[in-house]
Amino acid sequence: MKINFKKALGLALCCWFVSAATLFAQEERPNVIVIITDDQGYGDLGITGNPHVQTPVIDQLATESVRFNNFYVSPVCAPTRSSLLTGRYSLRTGVRDTYNGGAIMASNEVTIAEMLKQGGYTTGVFGKWHLGDNYPSRPSDQGFDESVIHLSGGMGQVGDITTYFKGDTSYFDPVLWHNNKQEAYEGYCSDIFTDQAIQFIENNKASPFFCYLSFNAPHTPLQVPAEYYQKYKDIDPASGFDGDARPFPEMSEKDKEDARKVYAMVTNIDDNLGKLFKKLDELQLSENTLVVFMTDNGPQQWRYVAGMRGLKGNVYQGGVRVPFYVKYPVAFAQNKDIETMSAHIDVLPTLAEVCKVDLPQDRKIDGKSLLPLIQGKNVDWADRSLFFYWTRRYPEPYYNMALQKDGYKLVGKTNYNAAIEDFELYNLKTDPYEQNNLVLEDKSKVRALKVELDRLYNELITSENLINQPRIIVGNPAENPIFLNRNDAGGERGIWAQEEIYGTWKVSIEEGHYDIRMKFVKPIKAGGRLYLEANTLVKQQLNNQDKMDVLELKNVYLPQMDCDLLAHYAVDGKHIMPFWVELEKVN
């Protein structure tokens, strides 16, 4: 047989170019893993100076990463997560609270997952979502191909209808939501989410993937496997800091016990990340995988926070400054510190540039790509400001509100009509612990920062998705039946597990006949009436069944409408709100 060497050589070269092009494409578009933990403060790591908590895996990751040492998030979780995934201030996305109906992200937002799918990425989320539990705001509606999540802001909380009634064991053997279907799992929640993420990576190792591993730990309730608690049961979390000039909080005995549990939960996360990184090594994916590690806000309980002031929910540094490490071995330097102020809103534009996909062009992206900083380019961000706030429902000027710019921070802990002297001003370069209020010494700086604070506040509170809050769609084939949980109910502030409280759900109902079931926190008395109200339509039914915790309205006709849906049971002068409402469209 005669061999055409010229053709064979050409074929070989062609194969080489295809292989090289494939390798180049892989290097050009790395796998992406974003790891975020819940209520883990800046001080809950060994590498940030905590002598008690054991985090060898994360500490090593930090030493092999680009470390952003002035990285900021929102004071609480849902706002942080919406900003992380969209590159926008949370108020632009419709997210304004962690419950009270304010933790639903508008479906018109473009997430990292949706953006990366332009580049052929397969996407998965494992753990906490907290941006809407119903269509069209679920992970599957926002670009994720695979999802294993709990509902609402936390397992064991009222919004998570499949774990709440497990009480003190809600983190163990939970019923989770796998691709929008309830599924029972065995084990501890952080182990489950990590194992599911590893399985996703194994299944998608041949092409670029985006894995969002969003731990719900160490958020309350503080539940942890016994073998991890045993590591910390005898420590004194307030010891070991003598002679440190940094402020340190007074810790009660409850604070100390909470810290022991938190440290145990964090060590469990650390072990799980060890499993994850080992799997990347085994699959030979480590070099071309971009790994981000961060936390979502400061700690909820008093403990070591590297001397910073404030906790979760507070706009002081302890509430909003978190660790942020980026590792990408084939492209980024290892063991590098960057001091430039950066934030959660910067993650999406950074990934867009690194992964070579287009940013959304039809909206304002508040973040900036961090790639020039990582590459050591000369970047002047002196004009950059960051806006922080936290109050329930909507921002309240000027209560728990702040603006940070060029090393200075203006803090409002005062009234809407406060005088300049009522604000606080800190020079973070010389006073990182926010102990020395300069407001009386530099009023011109206060006025300048307040102008910027007012500009951003007024812009954000007029955001379309905030004014027209996202609605849950009822009766759509994408989710039928649908459960409305208390996390997403508005009305009175602080709807939780109370019986007598007023709450409604913002919904868009598709026309049809519905079977409607209402679950109550406690069994209710017979002799009352069950009500469903939607705009001008009211359906009511006498209940003759005693000591029931689920009541039903059958074959209720509902026209197409946008409304605030109200459900309650009236008995003995009480109006009892259901724990959840299930609506199933039957025709």
User: 31-374: what CATH class?
Assistant: alpha beta
What is the model's pLDDT at position 130?
98
pLDDT (average), residues 404-426: 97
Between strands 324-327 and 289-295, the pairing is: antiparallel
Judge contact between 524 and 548, C-beta under 8 A.
yes
pLDDT (average), residues 351-361: 96
Top pLDDT among 24 and 342 is at: 342
The segment(s) of the chain belonging to CATH 2.60.120.260 are 472-585
**What is the identity of the amino acid at 121?**
Y
The segment(s) of the chain belonging to CATH 3.40.720.10 are 31-374
Which two tokens mark 26? 């892989």
Residues ≥6 apart with Cβ < 8 Å to 75: 297, 298, 312, 313, 314, 315, 319, 320, 388, 389, 390, 400
Confidence class of residue 137 from pLDDT cuts 50, 70 and 90? very high
CB atoms within 10 A of CB 259: 27
d(CA 370, CA 349): 8
User: Residue 391 pLDDT more than 50?
Assistant: yes
Confidence class of residue 77 from pLDDT cuts 50, 70 and 90? very high
Confidence class of residue 156 from pLDDT cuts 50, 70 and 90? very high
User: Residue 26 pLDDT more than 50?
Assistant: no
Which fold is adopted by the domain 385-466?
Arylsulfatase, C-terminal domain (3.30.1120)
Confidence class of residue 378 from pLDDT cuts 50, 70 and 90? confident
pLDDT (average), residues 43-71: 97
The full DSSP string for 302-320 is SS--TT-S--TT-SSHHHH
User: Residue 22 pLDDT more than 70?
Assistant: no
pLDDT (average), residues 545-568: 97
What is the model's pLDDT at position 15?
39
What is the model's pLDDT at position 217?
98
What is the model's pLDDT at position 248?
81
Report the SS3 class of residue 126: strand
d(CA 159, CA 142): 20
The segment(s) of the chain belonging to CATH 3.30.1120.10 are 385-466
Which two tokens mark 27? 């290097």
The full DSSP string for 404-463 is EETTEEEEEES-TT--GGGSEEEETTT-TT-----TTT-HHHHHHHHHHHHHHHHHHTT-
User: 472-585: what CATH class?
Assistant: mainly beta
The full DSSP string for 99-116 is STT-----TTS--HHHHH
User: Residue 9 pLDDT more than 50?
Assistant: no
Mean pLDDT across the chain: 94
Q: Is 155 exposed, middle or buried (0-12, 13-18, 19+ CB in 10 A)?
A: buried
What is the model's pLDDT at position 243?
62
pTM above 0.85, yes or no: yes
What is the model's pLDDT at position 28?
72
Distances (CA, A) of 204 to 31, 111, 121, 197, 448: 10, 20, 9, 11, 51
pLDDT (average), residues 399-406: 97
User: Residue 244 pLDDT more than 60?
Assistant: yes
Confidence class of residue 24 from pLDDT cuts 50, 70 and 90? very low
**What is the identity of the amino acid at 194?**
T
d(CA 82, CA 89): 8
Dihedral of the alpha carbons of 391, 395, 401, 404, in degrees to the nearest 10: 130
What is the model's pLDDT at position 247?
76
What is the model's pLDDT at position 476?
98
User: Residue 421 pLDDT more than 80?
Assistant: yes
The per-residue pLDDT for range 422-439, each reduced to its tens digit, is 999 999 999 999 999 999
The per-residue pLDDT for range 496-540, each reduced to its tens digit, is 999 999 999 999 999 999 999 999 999 999 999 999 999 999 999
